[in-house]
Amino acid sequence: VHSSGILYPRESESRELVSLDGIWKFRISTAEDQEDGFRNKWFSTGFDEWIHMPVPSSYNDVTANSTLRDFVGWAWYQRSFFAPKRWWTDQQRVVLRFGSVHYTTVVWVNGKEACVHSGGHLPFQADVTELLLYGSANLLTVAVNNTLTLITVPQGHIDHPNNTGRYPPGTVLYHHDFDFFNYAGIHRPVYLYTTPQTYIDDITVVTDIDDDMGIIKYKVEYQNKYKDLPSVPQCRVFVLDKEGTKLTSIKGLVGKIHIPKANFWWPHLTHPNPGYLYTLEVHLFSDSSEDIYRLPVGIRKVTWNTTTFFINNIPTYMRGFGRHEDSNIRGRGLDYPLLVRDYNLITWIGANSYRTSHYPYAEETLDMADALGIMIIDESPACTIDYFTDELLLKHKEVMAEIIMRDKNRPSVVMWSLANEPKSFKNESSAYFSALVNLTKSLDPTRPVTFVTSQYSNTDKAVQFMDVVCVNRYPAWYSDSGHTDLIQRQVKYELTLWHLMFNKPVLVTEYGAGSVVGMHTAPSSMWTEDYQVVTLKEHFKAFDTLYQDGFLMGEMIWNFADFSTPQDSYLSFYRIYSSRRLQEGIVYSRRQPKMAAHVTRWRYWTLAHKS
Ligand code: GCB
């Protein structure tokens, strides 16, 4: 659990920011000797052999080599950089921050260990002030291991088969139960940034509305690098509107600001000006310095009852998707053109929401959701938990604390999802999820908490603790394949049962069918675009009747775009395209629409105009 904040690095009058993204040196450990890099101290000697590797990116798909695509173990990155002398003379604190590295990471600066982190989708940082050489070159080394075990989040399995007739000695078979490729590497931006020695460590904002008044409650936490502050620093906080005009200011590390006739944060297509963001400009004064940090703030209120979800007291129906951070070549690496293209497609289709299935997405990605008014269900990386142990629970709690620390201030984040499709028919899932909900609520009492189930209302042991029922269902695809004629009946029946059983709003977090772009038949048959369209349309009809019953909170198609699946998964023989790319998207991997995107667009814009 973070003992300190993890604010996004932003430059200001008191902070410098240097990007370390680019082409790094890269090599992997040999299959027979996973410890070679540690033993030979690659972190101080440098690499003798290496290839070029882009950062940020997954390393799996950038070469034409299956060894690297399918690699499991320690992979090594290295680069050098300069730290200006003035950072030292100005007594700056220097922090090295990674947006995310998948999964277990060790970082060295000039041969000395700077930090260790485990967990693939969240930021971490280290104070490197004392490790740097100022005014000369510094060597940065990152070792990353993508091995998943029963106590990582997500869980993975490694088999050591002992049948030497079929497998040579030493064979390692790697499996996981989740349905996406386990991309690895330095996935998000790497920054060096500076702060004064007394610095703003964290800001927490909770907003509320009262008639047309916006209310911002804030708390600023500070730290001093040397811990011996002579006096408590002074704090002054300004609120700026979208145009940058200062509206008001207030003194104190903790406070409550009132904005009369405020512009509230609204979702896409519910208001002429969705995603309105104010700026909270925080100034922290100590005896010798001033630190300044600007935080975007959207003023909105999230509430829910047993049937309905509200934004700013208005019933809000979610029209959206499940997604993946996935694309050709770069895998899960952050890519700005792709990011903007995806949002342009999402808003063109008329969606107002998506779930960050099945892990927390990049901060840069959520920044755009904040600014465009896209509601986010922020999901932890706990996909398909199979074995519920105390050790896993501990790690899972740590991950929830890290997600909330990172995303607590985002207006776009309207719900936390603890997990996707855990084996929640098992009795032990009950105590596990009850503990996790309690922790999440204690860290953030303002947002609903859920997890996404694939169970049935009479088999699930954990949905009872959640605020909202989120279910994944595949009628006419995984069950009663080919029978699109059964969809309406089955959807209505099952969703109604869920509501009757738990008396909570119901959100369909996955449904749909796979299709290969350009493949058509009449009548429609599985894997054609026609079949995908029929599947969606039958669901739309079912949702329309349920909508009138009043407990349906929204609909999310699986998936926004085609994504990669591994060849060694239990599902791989269902998967087309050398089992490598799952075709469930309504846009395909080059981010162009399939027929289903046009049909969804028609649906979502119609829904938006109805509400
Ligand atoms: C699910 C999973 C998702 C899969 C999808 C499928 O229920 O949550 O990760 O990709 O089904 O098609 O198997």
Nearest CA to ligand 1 atom 9: 179
Nearest CA to ligand 1 atom 10: 179
Q: E strands along 481-558, which residues?
A: 506-510, 552-558
Helix intervals (H) in 408-471: 428-443
Cα 313 to ligand 1 centre (Å) = 33
Which of 176, 177, 178, 179 has the most ligand 1 atoms within 8 A of CB, as the residue to mutate?
A: 179
Question: Which atom belonging to ligand 1 lies closest to the Cα atom of 565?
Answer: 10
Cα 378 to ligand 1 centre (Å) = 17
Q: What is the dihedral sign for C-alpha 338, 339, 343, 349?
A: positive
Mean pLDDT within 103-130: 97
Question: Which atom belonging to ligand 1 lies closest to the Cα atom of 472?
Answer: 7
Residue 572: what pLDDT? 63
- Which residues touch 468 (CB under 8 Å, ≥6 apart)? 304, 309, 415, 448, 450, 504, 505, 506, 507, 553
* pLDDT tens string 372-418: 999 999 999 999 999 999 999 999 999 999 999 999 999 999 999 99
Mean pLDDT within 76-99: 97
Question: Which atom belonging to ligand 1 lies closest to the Cα atom of 454?
Answer: 7
Q: Which among 19-33, 352-366, 565-579 has the top mean pLDDT? A: 352-366
Residue 610: what pLDDT? 86
- Which residues touch 22 (CB under 8 Å, ≥6 apart)? 54, 55, 79
Q: Which stretch of 28-37, 101-110, 509-518 has the lowest confidence by average pLDDT?
A: 28-37
Nearest CA to ligand 1 atom 7: 472
Nearest CA to ligand 1 atom 13: 179
Specify whether the CB–CB gap between 450 and 467 falls below 8 A: yes
Q: Measuring CA to CA, how many Å separate 607 from each of 144, 344, 351?
A: 45, 19, 10
Residue 32: what pLDDT? 80
Percent of the chain clearing pLDDT 90 (strictly above):
88
Nearest CA to ligand 1 atom 2: 179
Check residues 58 and 583 and name the one with the higher pLDDT: 58
Cα 219 to ligand 1 centre (Å) = 40
Mean pLDDT within 422-446: 98
* pLDDT tens string 527-566: 999 999 999 999 999 999 998 889 999 999 999 999 988 8
Cα 179 to ligand 1 centre (Å) = 6
Question: Which atom belonging to ligand 1 lies closest to the Cα atom of 420?
Answer: 8
Which of 384, 386, 558, 575 has the most ligand 1 atoms within 8 A of CB, as the residue to mutate?
A: 558
Cα 47 to ligand 1 centre (Å) = 40
Does position 2 have pLDDT exceeding 50, yes or no?
Answer: no
Cα 454 to ligand 1 centre (Å) = 9
Strands 314-315 and 246-251, by their bridges, are unpaired
- Average pLDDT value over all residues in the chain: 94
Question: Which atom belonging to ligand 1 lies closest to the Cα atom of 452?
Answer: 8
Residue 580: what pLDDT? 45
Residue 549: what pLDDT? 83
Question: Which atom belonging to ligand 1 lies closest to the Cα atom of 584?
Answer: 12
Residue 611: what pLDDT? 73
Mean pLDDT within 318-323: 98
- Which residues touch 58 (CB under 8 Å, ≥6 apart)? 102, 183, 184, 185, 187, 330, 331, 332, 333
Specify whether the CB–CB gap between 270 and 611 falls below 8 A: yes
Nearest CA to ligand 1 atom 3: 179
Of the residues 402, 421, 538, 555, only one is catalytic, namely 421
Q: How many residues does the chain have?
A: 611
Q: Measuring CA to CA, how many Å separate 190 from each of 183, 238, 593?
A: 18, 29, 32
Specify whether the CB–CB gap between 190 and 20 falls below 8 A: yes
Mean pLDDT within 143-171: 92
Question: Which atom belonging to ligand 1 lies closest to the Cα atom of 514?
Answer: 12
* pLDDT tens string 27-51: 999 878 889 999 999 999 999 899 9
* pLDDT tens string 189-239: 999 999 999 999 999 999 999 999 999 999 999 999 887 777 889 999 999
Cα 574 to ligand 1 centre (Å) = 12
Specify whether the CB–CB gap between 476 and 458 falls below 8 A: no
In angstroms, the CA 222 to CA 236 distance is 13
Question: Which residues' Cβ are closer than 6 Å to ligand 1?
Answer: 179, 358, 420-421, 454, 472, 510, 558, 584
Does position 571 have pLDDT exceeding 70, yes or no?
Answer: no
Mean pLDDT within 92-111: 98
Question: Which atom belonging to ligand 1 lies closest to the Cα atom of 421?
Answer: 8
Residue 547: what pLDDT? 82
Cα 528 to ligand 1 centre (Å) = 18
Nearest CA to ligand 1 atom 1: 472
Please state whether the peptide bond connecting residue 574 to the residue before it is cis, i.e. omega within 30 degrees of 0: no
Residue 288: what pLDDT? 84
Question: Is residue 312 classed as helix, strand or coil in its secondary structure?
Answer: coil
Nearest CA to ligand 1 atom 6: 179
* pLDDT tens string 321-338: 999 999 999 999 999 999
In angstroms, the CA 501 to CA 504 distance is 9
b/e for 144-180, b at 16 or more Cβ within 10 A? bbbbbeebbbbbbeeeeeeeeeeeeeeeeebebbbbb
Q: Is 421 labeled as catalytic in the residue annotation?
A: yes
Cα 510 to ligand 1 centre (Å) = 8
Cα 362 to ligand 1 centre (Å) = 21
The model's pTM: 0.97
